[in-house]
Structure 1
Amino acid sequence: MRYSFLTLFFFVALNSLSFAQEQDTLLAKKTDVDAIDVLSRILNTKWASKHDSLDKKSGRVYFSGAPSVGYSLTSGASAIFVGDFAFFASELRDQKISIIYTDVLYTQKEQFVFRVQNNLWTKNNKFNIVSDWRYYWYPQKTYGLGSSSSLAGSVDQTYSYIRLHQTVLKSFRPNWYAGAGIAWDYHYDIVQTIEPTNDNQSVLAAINEYGVTKQSNSTGLLFNLLFDNRVNSINPQGGKFMNVVYRTNFTFLGSDGPWQMALVDLRKYVPFPKRSENTLAFWSYNWFTFGGNAPYLDLPATGWDISSNLGRGYIQGRFRSKSLVYLESEYRFKILRNGLLGGVVFGNAQSVSNWPANNFDSIALGAGAGLRIKFNKYSRANVCIDYGFGQGGSQGVFVNLGEVF
C-alpha cells in the first residue's frame, strides 16, 4: 500500500511539472450575471454598472463579501463574515490579480477565528507579497497521531493561536519566483480535557508519548520557489501552480526546538471540454516535518493547510502526523448559461504517516458535491457551498468565498 500510493503521488507530481504556458484568463462576458446584478434588479438600482467594468482597470477594487452560515463536525453551526478585495497593479494583459482576504467566524462550539491573508502582485508581476495572519481561540477535538483512530476516540483540546507568516518573492523569469520570509506560530493556554474511554486509550497514549505542553513557540525562516501562470487565483480556469516551501526553525529566534518542514503544493487546471468554461482541477499537497519533533499542534493535519480546505469530508484535525500526502480532483461546471449558478463534484485521498514508524500504510478517501453562486463576475468570485463525506461517518458542509484550490 505504501509504495503504490507514493508511486501515484510522484506520477501526478511529474505530470503537474510540465510547465507549458497554459495561461489563465480574466474576462467577463456581457451576458454574465452575478449576485450583485440580481440584487440590483430586485432593488431597482444600478450598482453593477456604477462600480464594475468589463475591462481590467489599474487601481479599481473589486469587493466580494457576505455573511453566511455553515456547519461542520469541527464547529457545529457557525456564523461567518467573509470578504475579499481584488485589484490589479497595472492594465498589462498578463497582470495577475492581487487579493486581500479576510474572514471572521464564531461557532456553536464557541470557537473564534480571525484571518487576514494577502496575495499581492506588483506592477508587471515583478514581486509577489504573501501574508498569512491569524488569531484563533479554539476548542477542538484531536484524534492522536496516524490514521487508526475512530471518530469516537477523540480528546478535547482548547488553545489560543497566533500565526504570523510573511514572504516576499521576486520574479527571475516569466511566472517563476524565488523568495524568503519569516514564520511565527505560537500556541498558548493549551488545555486537554481527558476523560479516558475504551475508544480513546490509544489516542491518549500517542499524545502522551509524543508530548503536548501548555504552550509552544515555533519561529523560523521560510524559503520559497514558486511557479504560477494563473491570472486569477480566486477562480482559475487554466494554468498551473507550484509552490515549494522549506522552513527551518531556530532557537535563537525563540523557537522551542530546531525542527524543519518541507511543503510541495501542485495544482493544474484544464478546460474540459476544451473550449468550454468548465474546468477539471487537480491538487497535490504534500507536507513533511523532519530534523526534530515539531510541536503537536504544528504537525501536518487535515484542514490545516493555508486555506483550511484540505480534506473536505473530514473534520479539521481528523488525521495528524509528521508527514501528510494528499490528492484531490474536482470538476467545475456551469448550471446556468449566464454563469450565476454552477456546480462541482470532487474526490480526494489523504494519507498520514504512522507514529512512531513514520511510514504510510492506509488511505482515507473523501468525496462530495457543491453549489457555486457567482458573487462577482469581474473577479469571478463564487460563494462555494459544498457537502463532503468521508470514511467512518465523517461528513460536513463547507462554505468558502473563492474556489477551494
Structure 2
Amino acid sequence: MLLKSIIQIALILICSAGSNTLTAQRLYNSTSIDSGQLTNYFTPTETEQRDIKDVVRKIFKSSKQNQQDSSIGRKNRIYNSFFPAAGYTLQTGYAAIVSEGIAFYTDTTGSEKISSILTSITYTQFHQLLFPLTVNIWTKKNKFNIVFDYRFLKYPSTTYGLGARTTENDAYTLNYNCIKLHQTIQTKIYRNLYAGVGIYYDYLWNITEVNPPPGIKTSFQKYGASQKETASGIALKLLYDSRKNQINPANGSYANIVYRPSFTFMGSDNNWQALQIDCRKYFKLFGSTKNILALWSFDWLTLGKTKPPYLLLPSTGWDDFYNTGRGYVQSRFRAKDMIYAEAEYRFGISSNGLLGGVVFGNVQSFSKNLATQLSVFAPGLGAGLRIKLNKFSNTNLCIDYSFGMNGSRGLFLNLGEVF
C-alpha cells in the first residue's frame, strides 16, 4: 500500500510538472487572482524561488527555461493546462484523472481578475465517475462575476445514517447518479464586497441501497427518501474577499454567505431552505509569508422544519470543494445542521520555497438525527507536506495524513491549499 502511494504521488508530480500552467487549477471559487498577481507575486529578492518544474529541468540538465515563466504576465492571452494525473481519497480510493483548464482575461486594462474554464473526467477504484465543468467569468473592471458550476456524478458511496453518533457498523453502500446545475451572477457593491443571485438545480436518480443492515429500518428509509429526488430554487449570495491569492492565501479575509430556498413551483420535490456561512481569516506570523495561521469556520444549516433531499443534507466532505473533515471519509456524518471549524499552521521547510509543511486540527458537530440541538463533537488532527508545483501562482501539491475518532484515518491529496 505504501509503494502504491509513492507511485501515485510521483505520477502527480511528473504530470503536473509537464503542464503549461497551474494557475487555473483552483480558480473555481467566486474570486480569482488579480491580473497583476502573476508577474508581481515575487519581489526581486525572491527570484531564486523554485518549483517542481525547476527540479525536473535540473535533473535532466535542461538549460531551456519554461517559456511560460517569461511570458506569463502577457495580457490578452489564454493560458492552457491539460494533463493526466492520479488521485486518492478515502471515499474514492485511487483515481485516474484527465483535466483541462483555461485561464484568460476578458480585458487588458490591468485591473481585471482572471477568468477560467475548468473541466475533468475522473474514474475511481470504486467505479465512480465524476465529470465537473466550472466556468468563472470576470467582466471589465470586475463589475460582474458570472459562475457556472455543473457536475455529473455516478457515485456509489458509503453512508452511515443520520447524526454524529453513528458507527462503522452502520455503514453500507448507497448508489446514485446526480446532475448539479448551479449558475450565479454577482456584482460589486463596494471594493471587495459582492452580492448576487443564482438558480440552483439538483437531480438525483437511481438511488439504491446496497446491502443495508438487516432487520432494521435505515435512516434513509425513515427519512422517506425515494429512488429519485429533485431540488430546484434560487440562491442569494453575499461575498467578501480581500485575499490577494486565493490558491494559497497569505493574508486577508474571506466570507461567503449563501441562502438557498427551493420551491415546488420551480420543480423541487418540496419547499425547503438552507443557509451556508463560510468564513476564513489568514495571519502572517513572525513577519514571514512562509509562516501562516489560517482559520476556517463553515456552518451549514437547514432552516425551520423544511426537509431537503437526503443526499443534499449537510454532510462531511460535501462542501463545494469536498474539503471539510480531514480525518474522516466523505459522508461520515450527515444531519439537519452542521457546524465546522478548522485551524492550520503553514510553514516553510526549504528556503527556496519548494518544500513546506502544515499541522492542522478540525472539529465538526451535527444535530442529533433531525433535531436542532447539536450532538457530539468529532475532532480531526493531522500534518502534511507541501510541494511547490508553480512558483508564480504559488500552487502547492498538498499531501496530508489525518486522524479522527474511533480509528478513522487516511491520506488526503489536494491541488492548492484546502482553504
In the other structure, the counterpart of 2:369 is 355
Cα 1:102–1:281 shift into 2, 3 Å: farther
| Contiguous gaps of at least 5 residues in structure 2 | 1-35
Map residues 371-382 of structure 1 onto 2, 5 A cutoff.
371-382=385-396
Q: Is the 8 A contact 1:212 1:296 kept in 2?
A: yes
Percent same amino acid among aligned pairs? 45
In the other structure, the counterpart of 2:191 is 174
> TM-score w.r.t. structure 2 length?
0.83
Corresponding residue to 1:207 among 220, 228, 233: 220
Q: Is the 8 A contact 1:58 1:88 kept in 2?
A: yes
Corresponding residue to 1:256 among 247, 265, 269: 269
- 1-structure distance, mates of 2:354, 2:281: 24
> TM-score w.r.t. structure 1 length?
0.86
- Matched residue type, 2:418: V
Deviation string, structure 1 residues 23-58 (Cα, Å, up to 9, x no partner): x96613311111222223334556644112387443
User: How many residues are treated as equivalent by the alignment?
Assistant: 378
Deviation string, structure 1 residues 196-215 (Cα, Å, up to 9, x no partner): 259xx4xx442222122000
- 1-structure distance, mates of 2:106, 2:381: 38
- 2-structure distance, mates of 1:93, 1:330: 33
Instruction: Tell me the secondary structure at the aligned position of residue 236 of structure 2.
Output: strand
Q: Is the 8 A contact 2:155 2:177 kept in 1?
A: yes
In the other structure, the counterpart of 1:364 is 378
Instruction: Tell me the secondary structure at the aligned position of residue 319 of structure 1.
Output: coil
In the other structure, the counterpart of 1:106 is 123
Deviation, structure 1 residue 133: 1.3
Corresponding residue to 1:281 among 286, 289, 294: 294
Corresponding residue to 1:240 among 248, 253, 276: 253
Deviation, structure 1 residue 169: 0.5
In the other structure, the counterpart of 1:136 is 153
Map residues 3-402 of structure 1 onto 2, 5 A cutoff.
27-28=41-42, 29-45=46-62, 48-53=65-70, 56-62=73-79, 66-82=83-99, 84-89=101-106, 95-197=112-214, 201=216, 204-291=217-304, 292-402=306-416
| Contiguous gaps of at least 5 residues in structure 1 | 1-23
Q: Is the 8 A contact 2:170 2:213 kept in 1?
A: no
Q: Is the 8 A contact 1:334 1:343 kept in 2?
A: yes
RMSD: 2.4
Deviation, structure 1 residue 140: 0.8
Deviation string, structure 1 residues 88-109 (Cα, Å, up to 9, x no partner): 5557776444444433322211
In the other structure, the counterpart of 1:10 is none
Q: Is the 8 A contact 2:76 2:108 kept in 1?
A: no
Q: Is the 8 A contact 2:203 2:229 kept in 1?
A: yes
- Matched residue type, 2:205: Y
- Matched residue type, 1:208: Q
